[in-house]
Each structure stands twice: as structure tokens, then as C-alpha cells.
Structure 1
Amino acid sequence: MKILVINPGSTSTKIAVFDDESPLLVRTIAHSADELAHFDDVIEQQDFRKQLVLDELRQADIPVEFDAVIGRGGLVKPLEGGVYEINDLMIQDTHSGIALHNHACNLGCLIAHEIAATIPHCRSFIADPGVVDELNDYARISGSPLMNRICIWHALNQRAIARRYASEIGKEYEDLNLIICHMGGGISIAAHEKGRAVDANNALDGEGPFSPERAGSLPASDLIRLCFSGKYNEKQLLKRIAGKAGLNAHLGTNDVREVLRRIEDYGDQHAKLILDAMIYHVAKNIASESAVLCGQIDAILLTGGLARSEYIVSRIRERVGFLAPIRCFPGEDEMEALALNALAVLQGKRKAKEYK
């Protein structure tokens, strides 16, 4: 089975071609700020990015002949986890503004569907988008009836890591209780109970630990006062939640390697304080998910780019290692995860769900 994978990010579009489980091509197409400045809205980049994908395939001598095209899922309506066949309603919702955020991931289903439509008998999918919502009833309720808790998290990578870990120990994901922490530009932490993520934070814009780019949970009253202070407009304040927040706001960089250099080479005690505070809050939020699982935890899994840092991983182990065994899966492989999800449907091992 030939599968094309498309994963749009804010400044790049990753593509891959798989022959069953074997990657034939993996590319990252970078987009400069000047290139993207021509577009007022992310959705307007659809034709531009699609053409770059087709150009990359042509340059690699790969014919546009696929059994499936799978895109990174967008931030549309909350969904159960799984693989979804892209349909007209999903396309309509992505264009209509129902999407929770104007994020580049919303382009994934649009480009995948357009390319697949030009290929005979080719199917188009998304899998485990960031809006996967399997929260239990308690998790949805906040302290105000005006708003419920929602989760936006690294569902695709967390599920892929969970299945990989389960396979390594000879068990099924659906038989395990896991706490998984994905640490990248944003940090998501979820309690996985027998194959369902029953609790997870909104890692994009305002819940959980702060991260290299995001503010995490903030004091609510102070935030409201800041909104009415007249110092910032709405767009500027939203950037203070996601983008110019977290390490970026405190230290002027979202690169943890740069922060570690400041600590190790220059003895920067302020940088150490801020980084250690982030690690502290990550560990605290991991520990809080143990209550969701009533202490019945098979393992704690750490993943994402920051899981490559021994400085970070060792300090998390010190704080939460008493809860369960900790396994580290550095980085992420969203491209392989997407390809394997599509392949499972094509081989009849998994059924594609309907978006409705």
C-alpha cells in the first residue's frame, strides 16, 4: 500500500511517502516568514502548500499514485480517538470557523482531501487530531458553569507511544493504565485508562504546566485584570498565552538547549530557576494524574523533543519516579504514526470513523 502523509506546521510542511511500513521519502518543506506574509489567514495557504507538496514529489520522482493520503488532523469539533475518513462536513467545518484555533494543522485534512480526489480509488484520512476528547464526566467540569474544561493535546504522538510501549512489553494498549507526558513547544499530560485518555490538559492555550512557548495555568483574577488594563489588545494577550509565553517570555528564547548552555557555561541562576520551575510544574501535573487513575499506574511515559534532555528527565524522575516505572521515548514520529493509522484501515485491522 502506498501512503502519502502530510503534516503542516506553522513554519513548515512535513511530507512522507510510505510503502506499507517502509518510508520511501521523508521531507520537511520550510516556509520563510516572507513567503507566509502574503497570506492574511492560515487557510489561504492551502493552494500554496499543496503545490509545494506536489513539487517535492515530482522532484523525488515519485508518481502521484497512492492508496491513501492522510493529513494531520485539525482543531475542529471534539472527537473520539481513531482514524477518520475525511468528508464534506469536516472540510466545511474547517472552512467555516468552527475550528477552535487558526492553526496550520487545519490545513492537513484540506490538502490531503484535495490530492486524494485527483487519484482513482484513493482514500483520505486524518488520525487522532489534537481535539481528541475522551474525558470522563468529572474532568469536564470546571469551577464555573460558564465554561467547561476542554483538552487540546498531542493525541497522535501520545497514542503512538502508548501502543509502542505496550507492544514492547507484550501487552495491548487497551489493557494498560498510563500517564503520558509529551514535552515540546507545548506540554500535554494525559491519563490513559485502558485505551482511553480520560483526563488531559489544554496544552495549547491555558492549562497545565508552562512550557517553552505556552503560559499554562495562570491566576484567573490577575489575568482578568490584565485584560481590562488597557495595556494590551486581544491579539497581544493571546500571544502572551501561546507563543510569547513560558520560557520564551521569561528568558527570551524557546530553545531549551540555549537555556541549558546559559546554565552550564555561564552559571545563569535566573535561567536555572525558570527551567527548574517548569520541570517542577510538569512533575506536579504528572503526579496529579495519578489520582485520576487511583494510583493504579503501569508506567509513566515521557516523550517529545524535551525528553532528549537528561537534565529535564532526571529531575522529573526524582519527583515522580515513586509513582510507577518511567520510560523515555525521546522525540516524536508523527509521520510514521499517521502512516500506520492509514495502513491499519487499508488492511482492515481498524475501521475508519465517520466525522459527524
Structure 2
Amino acid sequence: MDQNRKILAINPGSTSTKIAIYENTKEIYKKSIEHPSEEIEKYRHIADQYEMRKEALMNFLKEINFDVKELSAVVGRGGLLPPVQSGAYRVNESMVERLAKRPVIEHAANLGAIIAYEIAKPLEIPSFIYDSVAVNELEDIAKISGMADIERDSFSHALNMRAVGIKVAKELGKSYTDMNLIIAHLGGGMSVSIHKKGKMVDIVSDDEGPFSPERAGRVPCKRLIQLCYSGKFDKNTMKKKLRGKGGLISYLGTNSAIEVEEKIKNGDEYAKLIYEAMAYQIAKGIGELATVVEGQVDTIIITGGIAYSKMITEWIKKRVQFIAPVEIVPGENELKALALGALRVLNGEEIAHEYDLD
């Protein structure tokens, strides 16, 4: 193996661009570049932020005196494309055009591939995405929604979920492709997935399941329709009620789990009710996915930033540990997952897919 492979990993978020440089499997630099909301609000479309974010990233590399010519590859967070397979994809002009001009949904993650491609192209090195938000390995039966006009999508935190699935399987002395895992990602948004012998065959997405700090999750459809046509709210306001102003923000006015737990410690019974309801709904999502493999679940994994909370994880564990043993893997290891995925491709351990979708 080439001992000098350096990989730049890029993970754009709503108000930050997280980056890391890896030398083989070792992280040598890491930085979260913050973008003030007043700066973000200048741009009508997320794709328009590309130049601003790339410039901020390149300025940081100059500050640390890192020469981009040392890079072997650049890898970005995979955005909201049409359905793709798990693993690596080479970024090409077709992917960049789709994400910039015709994304399935506007999302900061769409910028990952664009920035990676534009940095890598003049250096004549490959650029990749890995485990895109749009990874879709749903079995045919899981695509049925109940309304012929709507097919279920598969948008989830696939990158972190698959990374922790592979990690936990290895720690248990098993292969990820030999296990049935239920993995719940708990962050500002939440999703739960069932991994059947290495394939993510079904999910509970952020609009189908538990509410989260910022998202409403599954809400009663009839009541939602009434609210949409009540004349009180326009389309954008309703979208924000579901994503951005839902969940803990809607009930408690904050998206901070730390603040909510402080309220609970100070005797706020309403805050406790809402917070425990979030854990209750997460447990329900885990429970429903257990039916996909007829209860044959090897391990349940709870991950994401909120998995640091013992209060939440204990509430969830109490309700689901009858299904399978529960492993807590707190945090989001997305930059590492990106870098190691790209490294596997460079080392010939994995073959990158070629993006050729419309």
C-alpha cells in the first residue's frame, strides 16, 4: 500500500463545512468552517454557495500551509441524487450538473461532490462521493407507500449508519454482510434503518418516523392536510414546520438536547414529557423495522450526536433491548467514513461506481 496517500474529506452542513485531511487511515487535520447565517441567507439556492464555501476551505488550507498537490483524492458527502447504490461513486460532470441544477431536493450535502470535483480536477486526481444520502437498496415490497401516486424514497444518514454498522460488526468479530442490524441515527434530523446481510433494505426516514430536535417526523396526515389548506400558512411556512421548526423547537423552543436536559434536571415536567416522547418514537421506529427480518435482529446500534445522551439512550434501550442487544456508538464519524471509503477505492479494495443517471 502507498504510505503517502492523502485524502481531503468534505462534509457540507447547513451553516458549516466540515473538512478533514487523512494520511492513509490517520487524521492529520480537521476543521469545521462556520458560515454565519447572514452570509448563507445571501444565496437564493444552495448551489450558489459553492464559490463561497470553496474559497473558505482553500483559505484554511493556506493557513495551515497545506499544499493540495500532496492530495491523492478528494471525497465529498454524497447529496440528494436519484437513487444510487451504497459505496463509492466517481464524481463526473453529469453528477455535478445534476446536483447544481436539478437536485432531487436542495440540501447542503449536494455541495460535497461539486467542491470535491472542482478541487480535484485541476490536480488531475479522482474525486468521489461515498454512501450518498440517496442510497436506495429498498426491497420492492418496501417501496410501496399505500398511495399509487407516491413511491417511498430512501433518504437517510446512510454514510454514518453503514460506517458504524461495519465498525460494530468488526468489533463483534463478525462480518457486516453476515448480520442483520437496526441502526438509529439521532441528530438534528433522525432516520432508522435495517441492514440485512450488508444491504440497507428498509428505512424509517425523517418524515416517516420519530420527531427530532428540528423536524416534525410522522404527523397525522388528515390533520396536516387541514392545516395546509387552513389559509393560515403559506407553503414555505408549512415546509419549515416540518423541517427546521418542528420537533423540540416546536414544543420547547430549542433544538439543543443539552438545554432540554437542563430543563428536566430543574424539574420541568413538560420538557421531560416531550423529550421522553422523542425517545418513545425512536423506539417505535426500531420496533417496526424488526418485523422486516421477522425479528431476526443481531444487534441494535444507536448513533449520532444525541447518542451521547445517557437519558435518551437509556429510555430507548429499555424499550427495545428485548429485540436484540443494544450498542451505543455516539457521534458522527462521517469525515472518517468518507476518507476511509475513498482510501479503499485507491487501494483497490473497493471499486467505485460510475455515475450515469439522468
TM class, shorter-length: over 0.9
- Structural mapping, 1:27-66, within 5 Å: 27-65=31-69, 66=71
Say whether the 8 Å CA contact 1:152–1:201 is kept in structure 2: no
Deviations 1:297-349 (A, max 9, x none): 11000000111111111111110111100000011110100000000000000
SS of match in other structure, 1:232: coil
Deviations 1:111-168 (A, max 9, x none): 0000001113x10000001111101111110111010111211000000000101111
TM-score (norm 2): 0.97
- Structural mapping, 1:104-119, within 5 Å: 104-119=108-123
SS of match in other structure, 1:273: helix
Give the match for residue 341 of structure 2: 341
Give the match for residue 273 of structure 2: 273
Q: Could you tell me which runs of 5 or more consecutive residues in structure 1 were left unpaired when the two chains were aligned.
A: none
**Aligned-partner Cα distance in 2 for 1:313–1:24:** 32
Aligned pair 1:144/2:126, yes or no? Answer: no
Deviations 1:156-209 (A, max 9, x none): 000000010111112111010000001001111001000001101222xx2111
Aligned pair 1:134/2:137, yes or no? Answer: yes
Say whether the 8 Å CA contact 2:100–2:114 is kept in structure 1: no
Give the match for residue 155 of structure 1: 158
Aligned pair 1:15/2:7, yes or no? Answer: no
Aligned length: 351
SS of match in other structure, 2:218: coil
**Aligned-partner Cα distance in 1 for 2:85–2:155:** 13
**Aligned-partner Cα distance in 2 for 1:56–1:272:** 42
**Aligned-partner Cα distance in 2 for 1:38–1:273:** 38
Say whether the 8 Å CA contact 2:216–2:241 is kept in structure 1: yes
Query: Which of 90, 93, 96 is equivalent to 1:91?
Result: 96
**Aligned-partner Cα distance in 1 for 2:334–2:177:** 21
Say whether the 8 Å CA contact 1:134–1:196 is kept in structure 2: yes
Give the match for residue 214 of structure 2: 213
SS of match in other structure, 1:328: strand
SS of match in other structure, 2:214: coil
Give the match for residue 317 of structure 1: 317
**Aligned-partner Cα distance in 2 for 1:17–1:184:** 24
Deviation, structure 1 residue 38: 2.1
Give the match for residue 302 of structure 1: 302
**Aligned-partner Cα distance in 2 for 1:163–1:312:** 24
Q: Which amino acid aligns with 1:232?
A: F
Give the match for residue 289 of structure 1: 289
Q: Could you tell me which runs of 5 or more consecutive residues in structure 2 were left unpaired when the two chains were aligned.
A: none
TM-score (norm 1): 0.97
Deviation, structure 1 residue 95: 2.1
**Aligned-partner Cα distance in 2 for 1:192–1:230:** 42
Say whether the 8 Å CA contact 1:307–1:328 is kept in structure 2: yes
**Aligned-partner Cα distance in 1 for 2:205–2:148:** 18
**Aligned-partner Cα distance in 1 for 2:257–2:354:** 40
SS of match in other structure, 1:260: helix
- When the two chains are superposed, the root-mean-square deviation of aligned CA atoms in Å is 0.9
SS of match in other structure, 1:5: strand
**Aligned-partner Cα distance in 1 for 2:41–2:330:** 33
Say whether the 8 Å CA contact 1:301–1:328 is kept in structure 2: yes
Deviation, structure 1 residue 96: 2.5
Deviation, structure 1 residue 224: 1.0
Q: Which amino acid aligns with 2:75?
A: I
Say whether the 8 Å CA contact 1:78–1:131 is kept in structure 2: yes
Give the match for residue 175 of structure 1: 178
Q: Which amino acid aligns with 1:30?
A: E
Give the match for residue 3 of structure 1: 7
Deviation, structure 1 residue 287: 0.7
Deviation, structure 1 residue 110: 0.4
SS of match in other structure, 1:322: coil
**Aligned-partner Cα distance in 2 for 1:202–1:347:** 33
Say whether the 8 Å CA contact 1:150–1:201 is kept in structure 2: no
- Structural mapping, 1:165-204, within 5 Å: 165-203=168-206
Query: Which of 74, 82, 85 is equivalent to 1:69?
Result: 74
Q: Which amino acid aligns with 1:166?
A: A
Deviations 1:266-307 (A, max 9, x none): x11111111111111110110111100111111000000111
Deviation, structure 1 residue 28: 0.7
Q: Which amino acid aligns with 1:348?
A: G
Say whether the 8 Å CA contact 2:204–2:285 is kept in structure 1: no
Say whether the 8 Å CA contact 2:190–2:205 is kept in structure 1: no
Identity of aligned residues (%): 45
Q: Which amino acid aligns with 2:66?
A: I
**Aligned-partner Cα distance in 1 for 2:330–2:53:** 29
